Structure 1
């Protein structure tokens, strides 16, 4: 609220007027600057006295502005800095800009002697473009081929171990099956083993189809080759060091040769490989491969592949795969093809190896050696690091057509993430 002041004529003594209106306030070179044009020594004093005596508002305003002006104000005219003052106060800024600063900001580089061009304290910093942070998934076909060789070598090692274990199996007539809580209460059914192996073929083919249509199929199949190679290697050791009596009383086993010559072992290895280690084709006639169950390994591994690399929304496929695995394992036990401990160990080893491997693969920090990374102490960590060091993150669930024909499937379209 502004109060309206009417001009009142006040008569002041000349001594008081001289004391209030100091002549040096209107001088040209005072401490606070001047708003008016330069006046003579007597002219300015007389004009101020006349304004005070006559009650002129302009004269009083000029005098009060002179005495109230603060030394912190810049030396620019009030009319030019008025907007800057109001904007600075309104925004709460502690600094105000003058005309020179504005010119420097608008034209950086005006001073050639300064690297960034301005002497107003503003520094221009060139920030490089950000690096790509997208994970990369190289195919590395050569590594995939090496992983395939790793799996084949260990599969041959497993069959060679079985060929030698067959000669060490306890005689069925002298040693009966070990006590087992499941086998002792289930009558053996030979047909159940065939059902289990049919489910193995169905599950493995379904997993293969998913791998073929996966966009990053070389990375996925490389992982599968490596995991199967590790599982076969460990199985070749466990079933060789401890030989259990034959679990089934009706399963056919080839007669022993009482000889473990390299030629005999080679013949048996070729026979087992030709039948892919299955009994349904009549090629698997050797006994003693119990700890741990190879049937359970293939079934569980196929389910894990389908669950991990198929679309997340395909819940019926995941449930069907899980049910097929359960039925297949039960059929193995019904046929007395393995002891219950074989199945349990196979499930545990397969799932733990799968989870540990993918945990390492999906976390870049765990791919490095460190005092707190105890997973780096695994004996196969060096193998893992070689095959996974260039994979830049979690493999996305993306799919595409794997063949160069027909062309209508190769039309450009965004990858579908599921």
Structure 2
């Protein structure tokens, strides 16, 4: 009798691996930079100058509407919740969460730098600011940071009473990023949802401006840096040749490129717009059949 050994069948690596541990690391990256931003604001608060508001072509031509900031933050909460649902029901949710965490982490990191290096006077002189301590100690910074974290940085929760977080607008970042995520990862035939999110983003930014919650330049910079970071990240992620070292790959010179490569090196191709029920029950809703992508 002749015995011929048959090797085990070769299993190709999945094109879109979940890599849950990487997603956890991406969340840690986001959380660290979020805490860093709150610590930076707690120190920036002490340096806000007691000057009149700077000249602003938009703000100087409209009457202040104090209720606008509340409306803007309600729109932010609604857009974030819907965005989370979109990502949660996506078949490749772990990749999407990972990308959102990394991009938000980068945006928070940049914001912690810009708000500290250049401190602007209050855009709205009627804005309530907590009394200054005229000194900063580690205990004071931690105490203020915990207060900001408990309210998720929103004024509507009554926890955001520290001033100076102008350049650039965190409200605009959240609104624009939520729109970009929904626009990118939902089917094209959902154009009504895309238009709705676009209007929510525009409306939220307008509400911030009419309430003088930010200078116009804060919103312009926030829009630019959010869209460019999102577009650059996804251009790198969707083109395999840009994940390889090459003298013609100028994106490789980005300081966060090694971070991007670690998170995206195993993702092969453009993430399809497939959706599925995220829970193991009930089974009839847990179909793995592919869906239309457009």
Common fold: TM-score over 0.5: yes
Question: Aligned-pair distance for 1:413?
Answer: 3.5
Question: Aligned-pair distance for 1:132?
Answer: 9.3
Q: Is the 8 A contact 1:135 1:393 kept in 2?
A: no
Q: Is the 8 A contact 1:399 1:416 kept in 2?
A: no
Question: Aligned-pair distance for 1:187?
Answer: 1.4
Regions of 4+ moved over 6 Å = 131-135
Aligned to 1:401: 277
Aligned to 1:152: 31
Question: Aligned-pair distance for 1:411?
Answer: 4.3
Counterpart of 1:326 (choices 191, 196, 202) is: 202
Aligned to 2:187: 311
Secondary structure, counterpart of 1:330 in structure 2: helix
Q: Is the 8 A contact 2:277 2:287 kept in 1?
A: no
2:99 corresponds to 1:220: no
2:144 corresponds to 1:268: yes
- Distance in 2, Cα, partners of 1:238 & 1:412: 45
Aligned to 2:85: 209
- Distance in 2, Cα, partners of 1:344 & 1:399: 34
Q: Is the 8 A contact 2:122 2:164 kept in 1?
A: yes
Question: Aligned-pair distance for 1:416?
Answer: 3.8
Aligned to 1:354: 230
Counterpart of 1:388 (choices 253, 264, 279) is: 264
Question: Aligned-pair distance for 1:361?
Answer: 0.2
Question: Aligned-pair distance for 1:415?
Answer: 3.6
CA-to-aligned-CA distance 1:220-266 (integer Å, 9 cap, x gap): 00000000000000000000000011110111111101120000000
> Aligned in 2, Cα 1:334/1:412: closer, same or farther, shift over 3 Å?
closer
Aligned to 1:113: none
2:57 corresponds to 1:181: yes
Q: Please, which runs of 5 or more residues in structure 2 have no aligned partner?
A: 1-9
Aligned to 2:212: 336
2:19 corresponds to 1:140: yes
Question: Aligned-pair distance for 1:133?
Answer: 9.2
The normalised TM-score by structure 2 is 0.94
CA-to-aligned-CA distance 1:80-107 (integer Å, 9 cap, x gap): xxxxxxxxxxxxxxxxxxxxxxxxxxxx
Two-structure CA RMSD over aligned residues (Å): 1.4
- Distance in 1, Cα, partners of 2:290 & 2:270: 19
> Aligned in 2, Cα 1:411/1:207: closer, same or farther, shift over 3 Å?
closer
Aligned to 1:293: 169
- Distance in 2, Cα, partners of 1:134 & 1:255: 57
- Distance in 1, Cα, partners of 2:42 & 2:34: 12
- Distance in 2, Cα, partners of 1:231 & 1:213: 25
CA-to-aligned-CA distance 1:104-131 (integer Å, 9 cap, x gap): xxxxxxxxxxxxxxxxxxxxxxxxxxx9
CA-to-aligned-CA distance 1:192-234 (integer Å, 9 cap, x gap): 0000000000111111000000000000000000000000000
Secondary structure, counterpart of 2:267 in structure 1: coil
- Distance in 2, Cα, partners of 1:359 & 1:413: 28
Q: Is the 8 A contact 2:276 2:287 kept in 1?
A: no
Q: Please, which runs of 5 or more residues in structure 1 have no aligned partner?
A: 1-130
CA-to-aligned-CA distance 1:129-171 (integer Å, 9 cap, x gap): xx99997000000000000000000000000000000000002
Question: Aligned-pair distance for 1:417?
Answer: 3.0
Aligned to 1:168: 47
Q: Is the 8 A contact 1:362 1:394 kept in 2?
A: yes
Q: Is the 8 A contact 1:193 1:331 kept in 2?
A: yes
The normalised TM-score by structure 1 is 0.67
Number of aligned pairs?
Answer: 285
Secondary structure, counterpart of 2:25 in structure 1: helix
Aligned to 1:376: 252
